[in-house]
């Protein structure tokens, strides 16, 4: 009997109806938001750490690939079984294990959905700041794997800023607890920060110790509409230098505005950019911060209009343009290359201008929106999938986008991770020596390269 067959037979015996091998199940677990498909040979639905440890130990012994998975909402193929093997689904590990109100921390299983955690802690006057766009269906384990961010990252940071400890299972099945509830702790290397953002290549996260934050007393949402994208980008730093740290500063470019207007009929002016700025804190802080932003807006001649939402309903109307972009893109073309480059805030306008030039060069629409507060641009290159020439141009255009981003001191990914879609550009950004160092770390954790292989080429 071959090694793989021995492993699958043992797992089938141990997990019974939580070991899936039927064709429908394999298809269901074969893709993510990239829409690429790589069927696993088997799906295991674990319910606790001991089961994860068992799967990893036997898989490592017989050199069978294992890919951890949450709800498969990733955009870079990080949870895809490129080489077949075992899809290790943690979706059933979705419980709150301990809510520590004294320390404002919570232990949760990795399969818990971000939104469910928010709902669990809300009655206690608390919230969990990391808020990726997929927060209603992405898991905490997946957020940790990608070091997810979101609109609130300007003020509250990203996932790594809120993870205090982890329970992890190594490739050989060993279980480790890393990190602690201590505010200060510099004993040894910071393994927690190493695991956060490692995309499931170093260990399987089974539990997470997360910090929580009191829900702010008040918040205000503002909309600033500009006839200059460069001025909109410059406004971001002006706001921060004026002593205001917003919760979010989102931007929508002219192509996005046009797309939303045509798709929804919403009343938006023909403008070059929209900034959505949200502040929170005590009522006094929010009033002061919103007045400061209004003062800056009045001094800016490129601002077409400035609006402060009077209530939650108006705030939702302000956010409508930003949230409606993705669903309306299909009106332009059925194909989309969606990337999440990030540049220093001071280079945001430069990058937008480069994107416009690339769009003209290849004759393809490029829709841009994202997090102006941290320089994170969601670049959407649109093309028709039945047109081979457009498809080729789209990929050439995206290569150029990455190259220009790196030249500006940016990164090929701010939130989505590298996965299998950006591997060719990792060395261009980091350099050969740094990539070799990453590979040596991978070998130290996973010498047999069974844990999410193909995501870090050895």
Q: What is the CATH number of the domain that holds 417?
A: 3.30.70.2740
301 and 341 together in one domain? no
Q: Single out the residue in 215, 243, 265 at which a domain terminates.
A: 215
66 and 211 together in one domain? yes
Residues in the chain: 458
30 and 159 together in one domain? yes
197 and 73 together in one domain? yes
* Pairwise CA distance, residues 218 & 197, whole Å: 32
110 and 179 together in one domain? yes
Question: Quick check: is 132 in a domain?
Answer: yes
122 and 75 together in one domain? yes
Tokens of 396: 């050439």
* Pairwise CA distance, residues 366 & 389, whole Å: 16
Whole-structure pTM over 0.85, yes or no? yes
For 91, the 3-state DSSP assignment is: coil
What is the extent of the structural domain holding 392?
332-447
DSSP 265: -
72 and 35 together in one domain? yes
Averaged in consecutive runs of 10 residues, what is the pLDDT profile of the chain (458 residues)?
A: 83 96 96 91 98 98 97 92 96 98 98 97 97 90 94 94 98 98 94 97 98 97 94 92 94 88 82 95 97 95 93 90 83 89 93 94 94 92 95 96 97 93 93 96 97 86
**The predicted structure's pLDDT at residue 267:** 79
* Pairwise CA distance, residues 392 & 372, whole Å: 30
DSSP string, 53-113: HHHHHHHHHTT--EEEESS---SS-TT--TT-SEEEE-TT---EEEEETTTTEEEEETT-B
311 and 342 together in one domain? no
Q: In what order do the strands lie in the sheet with 19-20?
A: 19-20, 42-45, 86-89, 66-69
Q: Which residues of 372-397 are buried (b: 16+ CB within 10 A; e: fewer)?
A: bbbbbbbbbbbbeeeeeebeebbeeb
Question: Quick check: is 452 in a domain?
Answer: no
DSSP 134: T
Question: Quick check: is 245 in a domain?
Answer: yes
CATH number at 254 reads 3.30.70.2190
For 440, the 3-state DSSP assignment is: helix
Question: Quick check: is 200 in a domain?
Answer: yes
37 and 72 together in one domain? yes
- In this structure, what are the phi and psi dihedrals at residue 100, rounded to the nearest 5 degrees? -100, 95
Q: Single out the residue in 215, 236, 271 at which a domain terminates.
A: 215
Q: Whose CA is closest to 232, among 377, 400, 409?
A: 377
* Pairwise CA distance, residues 127 & 182, whole Å: 20
Q: Single out the residue in 177, 192, 215 at which a domain terminates.
A: 215
Question: Quick check: is 457 in a domain?
Answer: no
Question: Quick check: is 358 in a domain?
Answer: yes
**The predicted structure's pLDDT at residue 327:** 80
Question: Quick check: is 18 in a domain?
Answer: yes
Tokens of 351: 């990058």
342 and 272 together in one domain? no
202 and 245 together in one domain? no
369 and 312 together in one domain? no
**The predicted structure's pLDDT at residue 323:** 83
Find the Cα–Cα–Cα–Cα dihedral 434, 436, 440, 446, rounded to 10°. 110
Our count of domains for the chain comes to 3
* Pairwise CA distance, residues 83 & 455, whole Å: 11
CATH number at 210 reads 3.30.465.10
Question: Quick check: is 453 in a domain?
Answer: no
**The predicted structure's pLDDT at residue 255:** 86
**The predicted structure's pLDDT at residue 1:** 57
**The predicted structure's pLDDT at residue 321:** 81
Positive or negative, the Cα torsion across 378, 87, 91, 199?
negative
């Amino acid at each position: 009997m071959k090694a793989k067959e021995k492993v699958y037979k043992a797992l089938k015996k141990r997990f019974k109806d939580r070991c899936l091998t039927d064709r429908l199940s394999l298809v269901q677990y074969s893709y993510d938001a990239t829409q690429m498909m790589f069927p696993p040979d088997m799906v295991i639905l674990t319910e606790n750490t001991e089961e994860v440890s068992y799967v990893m130990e036997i898989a490592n012994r017989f050199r069978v690939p294992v890919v951890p998975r949450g709800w498969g909402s990733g955009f870079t193929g990080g949870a895809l079984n490129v080489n077949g093997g075992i899809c290790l689904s943690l979706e059933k590990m979705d419980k709150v294990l301990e809510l520590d109100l004294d320390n404002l921390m919570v232990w949760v299983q990795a399969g818990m959905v971000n939104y469910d955690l928010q709902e669990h802690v809300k009655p206690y006057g608390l919230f969990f700041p990391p808020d990726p766009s997929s927060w209603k269906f992405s898991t905490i384990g997946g957020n940790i794997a990608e070091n997810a961010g979101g609109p609130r990252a300007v003020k509250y940071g990203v996932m790594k800023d809120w993870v205090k400890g982890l329970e992890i299972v190594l490739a050989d099945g060993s279980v480790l607890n890393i990190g602690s509830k201590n505010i200060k702790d510099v004993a040894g290397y910071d393994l927690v920060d190493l695991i956060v953002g490692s995309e499931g290549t170093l260990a399987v996260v089974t539990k997470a110790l997360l910090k929580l934050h009191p829900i702010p007393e008040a918040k205000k949402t503002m909309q600033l509409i500009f006839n200059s994208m460069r001025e909109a980008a410059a406004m971001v730093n002006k706001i921060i230098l004026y002593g205001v740290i917003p919760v979010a500063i989102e931007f929508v470019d002219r192509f996005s505005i046009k797309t939303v207007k045509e798709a929804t009929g919403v009343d938006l002016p023909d403008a070059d950019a929209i900034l959505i700025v949200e502040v929170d804190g005590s009522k006094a802080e929010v009033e002061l911060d919103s007045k400061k932003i209004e003062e800056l807006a009045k001094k800016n001649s490129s601002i077409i209009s400035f609006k402060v939402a009077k209530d939650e309903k108006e705030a939702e109307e302000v956010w409508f343009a930003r949230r409606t972009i993705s669903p309306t893109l299909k009106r332009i073309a059925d194909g989309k290359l969606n990337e999440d480059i990030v540049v220093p805030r001071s280079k945001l306008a430069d990058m937008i201008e480069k994107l416009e030039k690339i769009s003209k060069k290849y004759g393809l629409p490029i829709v841009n929106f994202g997090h102006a507060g941290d320089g994170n641009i969601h670049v959407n290159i649109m093309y028709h999938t039945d047109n081979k020439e457009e498809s080729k141009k789209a990929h050439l255009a995206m290569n150029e986008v990455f190259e220009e981003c790196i030249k500006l001191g940016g990164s090929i990914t701010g939130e989505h991770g590298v996965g299998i879609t950006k591997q060719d550009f990792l060395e261009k950004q980091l350099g050969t020596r740094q990539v070799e160092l990453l590979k040596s770390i991978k070998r130290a954790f996973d010498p047999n390269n069974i844990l999410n292989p193909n995501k870090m080429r050895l």
